[in-house]
Amino acid sequence: MYPKALYALLTFFFLSFSVYAQNCTLDIGGKNIGQIVTIFQLNEAQVGTMEELRAELEITAKTIEDDIQKLFDNHPQSSPEELTTLAGKYKVLQQKLVNASFESDKRLLGTFNEKQYQRYLILCNEALRDPIRIVPVQIGDSIDPK
């Protein structure tokens, strides 16, 4: 009887863990963009897109970080209620930053071909992360149909 209960408990535990899996991000705003180029063998157009997305993300992140600093500088923090309100506002700004990064990654992934996207899925699976779902770009036939 105990093995069945243990099995049920372990199943529930692993199912609940999978529900809370973290997104599998590329982190194009990070420092290791060279690894993204190498690992996914990005072509020139994809590298150009990544650089544009990276620049847009940098501007967005700077704006949000400035908003966070203003929030800390100007929001009252003398009572538990004020701190709770501050925490809620901070959490909203943090989520905006996460969303901006997610959208940048998603847009770059949208330029991936099937092989690149499959590599991404494999790496996400190995890292136990939830991949960003996109439809990969179809690779054109290398033979010119005339």
pLDDT digits (tens, 9 = 90+) for 85-99: 999 999 999 999 999
- Verdict on whether the full-model pTM lies above 0.85: no
Burial 17-38 (b: 16+ CB within 10 A, else e): eeeeeeebbbebbeeebeebee
Strand partners, 120: none
Tens of pLDDT along the chain (146 residues)? 455 544 444 454 454 444 456 899 999 988 889 999 999 999 999 999 999 999 999 999 999 999 999 999 999 988 999 999 999 999 999 999 999 999 999 999 999 999 999 999 999 999 999 999 998 887 654 344 44
